[in-house]
Amino acid sequence: MKAPVLFVHMAFAALFALPAAAQQVAAPPAPAVTLFQNVRIFDGKGAQLSAPSFVLVRGNRIERISATPIPTDRSADTVVIDGGGRTLMPGLIDMHWHAILARPTPAAAMADDVGYTNLVASVEATDTLMRGFTTVRDVGGPAFSLKRAIDEGLLAGPRIFPSGAMITVTSGHGDFRQSFEVPRTVGGPPTRSEVVGGSTIADSPDEVRLRAREQLLLGASQIKLTAGGGVASPHSPLDVSTFTAEELRAAVEAAENWGTYVTVHAYTPAAIQRAIAAGVKCIEHGHLMDETSAKLIAEHGIWLSTQPFPEEMGDALPPGSEERRKFEQVLKGTDTTYRLAKKYKLKTAFGTDVLFSQALARRQGALLASLAQWYTPAEVLKMATGDNSQLLALSGLRNPYPGKLGVVEEGALADLLLVDGNPLQNINLVADPAKNFVVIMKDGKVHKNLLNAGGSNPPAQ
């Protein structure tokens, strides 16, 4: 048996051998260098802007921050951006995003060819970045190829922490089948939603393990389950708890063996409490939670990844429909949830959960600004940057972008926004990114610059 094995090895060696000329590796190009001068920094952690400062970015990292001028190597290709006293802050992070599902209608998401769906999502990804969101955590949808293309520089878009398909039970939130598609045979052909990778059904601990591990194989940085009923699913009353404790534990074990964590969609106290008992590290939504659940979240140090849903979100659902009624119930709980989050000092993450609406996706920054109903501008910005990045870090070695995100500090990844004005005084600046984000940098690369490089541009007040 040895000879054939050797033959195979030789064949592979031949396949990967490079021509002699290609082996003479050229010196790598010098990393891009950008110097921001005269900027006041919101660092993603504190509540104040810094004194006028200088920030040097080399390659994809923040190399130096100084209150005094930083000399630049004039022989290097240094882009100098004179901030004119404007605010430099970390790129925004949306912890509940669906990169593939943000724009198409539900019918299109189910019926269209996956290639077309990805092309639509790629345009939305560029728009997302140009709204100042340099990172998103994708909590359901086949975003792996989109992520890869962005990471390879084929198109402009945010960093994506993908969950892949969200895992649900038969009849749960994410089971989008029509009644004529029942019964499903265990081991039978996949449903349409499973084929496209939007959601996947699991009805036993073993099936949960299989589906979770499939997403990890595909590159998931965390696993998403739906632990209770949902708004947009046809067979899923809000009050139900779906996965059993044993099933939830199977997912947690599979994720933790892989060095990462499980986050669950859960609105109700029952769904939240069962998930916490099973070792889940993050609750998505929580809009119908009560005091007991809030206390439990606090005691266990669990993250609450909740969203300030706007009323218009209901417009995508037919008036008078069961889905619309469920949305209104969830909407009513939003205020209570933020009050409980503040009362019990919960580790709270910001996200939007925009689905099926380009118009709503355009309001991503406005949704962030709407948190000012409950928080100071500094708290709002910290939540969408430094705080969110701490939840991202739970992905451990499955974090696709090792390095610090969501902060402006030496050594951190260079995802930066230059804001025309002071968002700590006027949070609504983030609601109009086209006008107010005059520079957008991701991974050290300038994707937008409305200032003349090297010129002096007095800030508008």
Q: Which residues of this chain interact with Zn ion, rule CB under 5 A?
A: 353
Judge whether 59 and 393 are in contact, CB under 8 Å: no
165 CB burial (10 A radius; 0-12, 13-18, 19+): buried
Min. distance of Cβ 275 from Zn ion in angstroms? 15
Judge whether 461 and 110 are in contact, CB under 8 Å: no
Min. distance of Cβ 444 from Zn ion in angstroms? 30
Q: Which is nearer to Zn ion, 43 or 353 (CB)?
A: 353
Min. distance of Cβ 428 from Zn ion in angstroms? 25
Q: Which is nearer to Zn ion, 201 or 266 (CB)?
A: 266
Residue of closest CB approach to Zn ion: 353
Min. distance of Cβ 101 from Zn ion in angstroms? 8
Min. distance of Cβ 96 from Zn ion in angstroms? 6
For 25, phi then psi, to 5°, come to -75, 125
Amino acid at 161: F
Distances, alpha carbon 270 to alpha carbons 223, 243, 302, 403, in Å? 20, 11, 16, 36
- Helices marked H in 86-230 — which ranges? 106-111, 114-130, 144-151, 192-196, 205-218
What single DSSP character describes residue 36? E
Beta pairing partners, 440: 417, 448
Min. distance of Cβ 323 from Zn ion in angstroms? 14
Judge whether 348 and 306 are in contact, CB under 8 Å: yes
Min. distance of Cβ 230 from Zn ion in angstroms? 8
Q: Which is nearer to Zn ion, 313 or 346 (CB)?
A: 313
Min. distance of Cβ 324 from Zn ion in angstroms? 17
Min. distance of Cβ 38 from Zn ion in angstroms? 40
What single DSSP character describes residue 452? P
Burial code of 142-158, b = ≥16 C-beta within 10 A, e = fewer?
Answer: bbbbbbeebeeeeebbb
Q: Which is nearer to Zn ion, 291 or 328 (CB)?
A: 328
Judge whether 314 and 331 are in contact, CB under 8 Å: yes
Judge whether 313 and 360 are in contact, CB under 8 Å: yes
Amino acid at 319: P
Residue from 342, 361, 344 nearest 105 by CA: 361
Angle between helices 205-218 and 245-257 (to 10 degrees): 30
